Structure 1
Amino acid sequence: MLQINPSSDGHRLQIAGEMTIYHAAELREALLAHVPASGSLALDLSAVDEIDSSGVQLLLAFERSARVCGAGLHLAAPSDAVAAALCELGLGAQFAIPCQE
């Protein structure tokens, strides 16, 4: 099940469930609705149990949208699935995730 839970201060979002093609459209709309106008946003991905290339594309698009708006994006506590996918695609450094070589 997909859940997006914004924090009360609006500086943290938690995504739970699958970040896959099956939820891409729904997740995209929800994420873009939370792009901050400034400051920074922590995206808690600790409860993401599956991610595919569509989910990674969403992360890249969300990061780009935040940057364009003058905001920063930080992946807080990425799950093993998220970390593995980003490292496998060579995106660990972009999201400050340590990857094994």
Structure 2
Amino acid sequence: MTKLVAYSRLFLPSSEREHASIGRVLVKKEFRGSDSGKELMNQAIKTLEEAYDQNTIQIQAQYYLDRFYRSFGFTPISEVYLLDDIDHVDMLRTKGE
């Protein structure tokens, strides 16, 4: 039986968003710390950059995961703000930087 371990949504630029984006990144609790999140982010970035030829990716990151997202080349582009009672920060990654 196949088991869902991690999930994210990928969005291409549109009239609502200037850049491609990765959203709703989640890893089931029992799999956190197993590198599933790293694998998911690497695959999401690779898909947007290679399959959809996107050079810039924006995310709304939970602030406590700032270091995690920086490890993939994302840098903050906003101040910390509250979203759903959780501190968030907008981050951007540009391919090759």
TM-score, structure 2 length as denominator?
Answer: 0.43
Higher helix content, 1 or 2: 1
TM-score, structure 1 length as denominator?
Answer: 0.42
Higher relative contact order (CA 8 A, sep 6+): 1
